[in-house]
Structure 1
Amino acid sequence: APLGGALSTFFMMPLAEFLGGDDKLLGYRWAMAIMATVAVVMFWICFANTRERIKAPATHNNYLAELRDLLRNDQWRIVAVLVLTNIGFGVIRLGAMMYFVTYYLGSASYFMWMLGAHILGKAAGSALAKRLTQNVSKVQMFGYCSVLAGVLSIALFFAPKSVLILVPMTFIVSTLYQATTTLMWVMMADVADYGEWKQGKRMDGVIFSTF
């Protein structure tokens, strides 16, 4: 996923300039249309080549009862708050990036470098997450990475208007952010284990779908 994001990022602006020329609106519109079409085709190819090797037995569950059991799982409630906070941090940061480079750095052309650093940082964070928790618990490392990412994000506000400084900082923050995201998905599995131990019921599908 990070590789696909990196490719689309690096090709977006050149493709928009090629298709639209001086008309940026037209260029981005056609560039997005082409990328969306390619994405849909690839999704269909993936879907067509996916096979269910093992058929799970049909079950008839009471969804309201499962929802009540889910809400009684105190670890699910804690992780749900972490998920909302984590996603909010990522969405706000990424959504503000174009405005940041356009109005603070003074040129939209830097967006490709900032977004590229963000995506490559996410790839690095995913790769490092397991190693980071070899000697430290997942919860502790989640906290360390979250606090450090927050501190560095605040530091970006005071950093000089230099791409040579801001791009590496963006890479580091994105690495920390993705490490927390990866650990968060692992903790969801722990929530399922906890629910089975505490309530005697395994609800992996319900737990993961709520996140």
Structure 2
Amino acid sequence: MQPAPTPDRLPLREYLGYALGDTASNLFFQTFNIFLTYYYVDVWGIPAAALLLMFPLVRLWDAVNDPIMGIVADRTRSRWGKFRPYLLWGAVPYGVCGYLMFAGPDLSAQGKIVYAYVTYTLMLMAYTVINVPYSSLLGVISPSSRTRTVASSFRFVGAFGGGLLISMFVRPLVKELGGDNETLGFQYTMAIFGALSIAMFWITFATTKERVTPPPQQKTNVLGELRELVRNGPWLALLLATIFSTTFIALRSGSTLFYFKYCVGDTGAPVWLGRFDASTLFLASGMASMMLGTLCLGVFARRIDKKPLAIWLTTGTAIAYAAFYFLPTDNFALLLTVNALGTFCMGPTSALVWAMYADVADYGEWKFSRRSTGLIYSASLFALKTGIMVGGFVLPWFLDFYGFVPNITQTPRALEGILLAFSLGAGAFAGLKALALVIYPLNQREVDRVERELRERRGEPAVAV
């Protein structure tokens, strides 16, 4: 007989329901990482140079909104808790705005740029409204650090599952639904993913609970909370790690289609791929490797502390990605193998870092006697989107600086730029993430002590660790 679920051992349906929220998030997040630059430049015809200004401006505005949303969520009072209501009411705007980004109306060149600015801004604001509370939910789903690590591993299996769906089915669906019209294909495909994301967020709302509340005597003070945040050393270390993490992910994912279209050549893919082109199989196998790595997290975490485990895994990803600069592009099996090694290491690292943020929320409550879960997670999303902003800027810069011109045979210089972005550039930012994790000060022994003392303050029973 299985033990009854408790705040320290959640029911399986809650783990699965929580995971679906990140599947919904990644139906668009991974689309932005993998396809957005390609869609804007190669499909819809926006000049790459225009993105050099648009991406930083829109993403900077979006990043600034995250802490504001975190402060709002921390002050929310409802019968559903602080964070869950936003999953209910934010799902429809999220799905609709995501679809509108890829609606592809027939506009003038200037009109397309304006439309891209408006719809991208609205989508990222909708993403903030729903994803800051969703991420913060991990910090209150259980008072147990180990239980939150399990929930985080489920979450990232869901996240990479969403990425796998995007990797495997976007290009085939675009071809199937749009035929020779890629713009129409993207329009129909993203309408499907928008509807799926709405349903998934509603399931997450229905299956999860909030179990950790702020101290009863806690007083809200925005300036005080912000001061405590910048004095929270573990959070500052994770801030740097998250910026570097999403920078290398955005740079790597965004350059993948360019790498295969112009450096490898999908037309030269092995015949056994069938209807899937080389880039689709490459992306899908990478997502599958991330899922496999995340599923192995429990085995790893029982033997190795979160901090050194995250450092070594991130270093493995950095080495694997940088190695692509030296790999022959005509050996598809070798490309798949090295990528699988890098993504296998990356999967558990993402889950570990987001579980660390929950530990940081505990640490903040322990040190300052004030719990600001929403602010901590929203500030982490600020870092995440800052990294996306940097990665989103760096890729168009590589394309523009090295003389990329869409849909022609590229010059050796342009090919070099694509290769650098895909390999050494991505690997370098992954290495910087590993260095940031080195300075993260909390180990499991300290986390257990903080958790134990917080339980004593709250009058909660101790649990075995």
Structure 1: tracts of 5 or more residues without a match: none
Bigger relative contact order (CA 8 A; separation at least 6): 2
1:56 to partner: Cα distance: 5.9
Q: Which has the higher helix share?
A: 1
Count of aligned pairs between the two proteins: 210
**Match of 1:129?**
297
Distance 2:206 2:353 in 1: 29
Distance 1:192 1:24 in 2: 45
Residue 235 of structure 2 corresponds to residue 67 of structure 1: no
1:158 to partner: Cα distance: 0.9
**Match of 2:203?**
46
**Match of 1:201?**
370
1:144 to partner: Cα distance: 0.8
- Which letter maps to 1:116? A
Distance 1:140 1:55 in 2: 28
Q: Paired residue for 2:261, among 63, 78, 102?
A: 102
Residue 250 of structure 2 corresponds to residue 81 of structure 1: no
Residue 312 of structure 2 corresponds to residue 148 of structure 1: no
Q: Secondary structure at the match of 2:296?
A: helix
**Match of 1:170?**
339
**Match of 1:116?**
284
8 A Cα contact 1:122 1:177, kept in partner: yes
Residue 327 of structure 2 corresponds to residue 159 of structure 1: yes
- Which letter maps to 2:226? L
1:47 to partner: Cα distance: 6.5
- Which letter maps to 1:33? A
Structure 2: tracts of 5 or more residues without a match: 1-157, 268-276, 381-465
TM-score, normalisation: structure 1: 0.86
1:71 to partner: Cα distance: 0.7
When structure 1 is superposed on structure 2, of 67-76 and 189-198 the one drifting more is: 189-198
Q: Secondary structure at the match of 1:61?
A: coil
When structure 1 is superposed on structure 2, of 7-16 and 45-54 the one drifting more is: 45-54
Distance 1:191 1:36 in 2: 33
When structure 1 is superposed on structure 2, of 53-62 and 91-100 the one drifting more is: 53-62
Deviations 1:23-69 (A, max 9, x none): 233223322233223333x1464377457687968975112211111
**Match of 1:90?**
249
Deviations 1:182-201 (A, max 9, x none): 11112212222332333333
Q: Secondary structure at the match of 1:174?
A: helix
8 A Cα contact 1:193 1:202, kept in partner: yes
Distance 2:171 2:293 in 1: 25
- 1:66/1:92 CA distance change after superposition, 3 Å: same
Deviations 1:127-169 (A, max 9, x none): 1223223332221111111111111111112111122111222
Residue 200 of structure 2 corresponds to residue 31 of structure 1: no
1:14 to partner: Cα distance: 2.4
**Match of 2:167?**
9
Distance 2:207 2:176 in 1: 36
- Amino-acid identity (%): 27
8 A Cα contact 1:196 1:202, kept in partner: yes
8 A Cα contact 1:117 1:168, kept in partner: no
RMSD: 2.6
Distance 1:136 1:3 in 2: 25
Q: Secondary structure at the match of 1:25?
A: helix
- 1:203/1:143 CA distance change after superposition, 3 Å: same
Distance 2:355 2:211 in 1: 24
Q: Secondary structure at the match of 1:96?
A: helix
Distance 1:48 1:194 in 2: 27
Distance 2:206 2:305 in 1: 38
When structure 1 is superposed on structure 2, of 150-159 and 132-141 the one drifting more is: 132-141
- 1:197/1:91 CA distance change after superposition, 3 Å: same
Distance 1:105 1:133 in 2: 37
1:4 to partner: Cα distance: 3.4
TM-score, normalisation: structure 2: 0.41
- 1:143/1:53 CA distance change after superposition, 3 Å: closer
8 A Cα contact 1:90 1:177, kept in partner: no
When structure 1 is superposed on structure 2, of 106-115 and 79-88 the one drifting more is: 106-115
